[in-house]
Amino acid sequence: MEIVAADVIVTSPNRNFVTLKITTDDGLTGLGDATLNGRELAVVSYLRDHVVPLLIGRDAHRIEDTWQFLYRSAYWRRGPVTMAAIAAVDMALWDIKGKAAGMPVYQLLGGASRNGLMAYGHASGKSLPELFDSIRDHQEQGYRSIRVQTGVPGLTAIYGIAAQSTSGERYDHEPAQRGGYPTEEDWDTRAYLRHVPTVFEAVRNEFGPELPLLHDGHHRMTPIQAATLGKSLEPYDLFWLEDCTPAENQEALRLVRQHTTTPLAIGEIFNTVWDFQSLIKEQLIDYVRAASTHFGGITPLRKVMDYAAQYQVKSGFHGPTDVSPVGLAAQMHVGLAIHNFGIQEYMKHGAHTNRVFQQSFTFEDGYLHPGDRPGLGVDLDVDEAGKYPYEVAYLPYNRLADGTVHDW
Ligand code: EZ4
Ligand code: CO
């Protein structure tokens, strides 16, 4: 089964998405997600200029070989642009293999290890009443696990707090701001560290001990600050504390780990298995936050989870709205098949996005299921996609009170 075409489709229904569509000589097509939020067109060029010409004529069944060929022949390994491009090829080939076999991808990965994937949604509020309403709203939508992000007194913009939706149909607490320059936000870690434990105390008092609660520190703390937060949150029994320190200094996690039993999740900006190697082996984390899209696709996601299984480290794949429905479906198939599934992040895509990408996955009673259509179970309506041209969009950035740039 030869690859005869590979097309890169850029569309911006509710936000930008980059999708690779591979076609074989027997007429099968497969989709892969290559969306890199804020740097989308770099991956488009990487694919169109450097990868697509190498795909034509290759055997579409050889997924592992194609992955290794694209990774090793580039010489310049890793990095988000390269790995998003390889991810798109990998997912599209799994999609094709599933269609050729007449099976959903999770069947090819060993079959279902569970009935569905527990998903968490993003509740947020500037004040406690607003936050409580947001948590209740998520519970009404069926979510059984909730990420809690909150305003901090004295700060105007906080990571994870919904910007006012302009379209009215954008369920998107995502911070991606459209426009030609990153929006500047303010930050004060000491104010944050004082405030957050009071919020979790209030949430536990209101919603009781059972509801799994998560929190994202978004790379903003030093190791000792992260240790302090983990310790002060212990009474509130978090499911996890995510990205408590900037991910590139992995040694920081050793210090954090010595001081707190709050479970730690990290890795949404990691690209390869090697980024997790010592964190898993030294048991410094509890959840792998990789996303299929930024991690080279289904093939390496499966590998890192098999490695993690030896250390009782579980999955918590990154599922923001900047991972397209194709990328989300890809990691749902992995999550259903592996034994060491933990939780799946699930932010609902906007209505326009759902018209461009027709999906077979379901979300019922808090559980996701990728569906049983052959392949990944996602189709792309090219005419619909063509209605939404690319829009320049940058993520925001932070400055401290004295003007210093800080991690966002
Ligand atoms: O800010 O995906 O846990 N989720 C996150 C995300 C990231 C965005 C960046 O593109 O941290 O909301
Ligand atoms: Co995060």
Provide the residue range defining the domain that includes 348.
117-373
Structure confidence at residue 19 as a pLDDT band (50, 70, 90) = very high
**DSSP states of 205-219:** HHH-S-S-EEEE-TT
Structure confidence at residue 159 as a pLDDT band (50, 70, 90) = confident
Q: Are 90 and 191 members of one domain?
A: no
What is the reported pTM?
A: 0.96
Ligand nearest to the CA of 16: 1
Which protein residue has the closest C-alpha to ligand 1 atom 11?
218
List of E strands, 245-361? 264-266, 287-288, 314-315, 344-345, 357-359
Who contacts 266 (Cβ-Cβ below 8 Å, separation ≥6)? 242, 243, 244, 247, 253, 279, 285, 287, 289
Q: Are 91 and 217 members of one domain?
A: no
For tokens 């996890």, what's the residue? 240
CA distance 137 to 77: 43
**Whether the predicted pLDDT of 189 surpasses 80:** yes
Mean pLDDT of 69-98: 98
Pocket residues for ligand 1 (CB within 6 Å)? 37, 174-175, 216, 218, 268, 320, 322, 395
Mean pLDDT of 26-46: 97
Q: Are 92 and 131 members of one domain?
A: no
Does 369 reside within a domain? yes
pLDDT tens digits for range 104-151: 999 999 999 999 999 999 999 999 999 999 999 999 999 999 999 999
Does 366 reside within a domain? yes
Who contacts 277 (Cβ-Cβ below 8 Å, separation ≥6)? none
Mean of the per-residue pLDDT values for the chain?
95
Mean pLDDT of 38-51: 97
pLDDT for residue 171? 45
Q: How many CB atoms lie within 10 A of CB 160?
A: 18
Which protein residue has the closest C-alpha to ligand 1 atom 10?
37
Q: Which of 341, 275, 330, 273 is nearest to 307 (CA)?
A: 273
Does 381 reside within a domain? no
Given the residues 215, 218, 349, 352, select the one marked as catalytic: 218
pLDDT for residue 176? 59
CA distance 115 to 335: 11
Does 131 reside within a domain? yes
Q: Which of 11, 9, 121, 20 is nearest to 355 (CA)?
A: 11
For residue 387, CA distances in Å to 68, 144, 166, 217, 407 come to: 36, 36, 19, 37, 35
Task: Specify the number of domains making up the chain.
Answer: 2
pLDDT for residue 404? 98
Beta bridge partner(s), residue 364: 367
Q: Are 348 and 321 members of one domain?
A: yes
Beta bridge partner(s), residue 254: none
pLDDT for residue 270? 97
pLDDT for residue 166? 41
User: Cα torsion at 305, 114, 363, 343 (round to 10°)?
Assistant: -40
**Whether the predicted pLDDT of 178 surpasses 80:** no
How far apart are the CA of 6 and the centre of ligand 2, in A? Answer: 31
Mean pLDDT of 195-210: 98
Q: What percent of the chain has pLDDT over 90?
A: 90
Q: Which two tokens stand for residue 181?
A: 């320059």
> Residue 312 is part of a domain; what is its CATH number?
3.20.20.120
3-class DSSP assignment, residue 315: strand
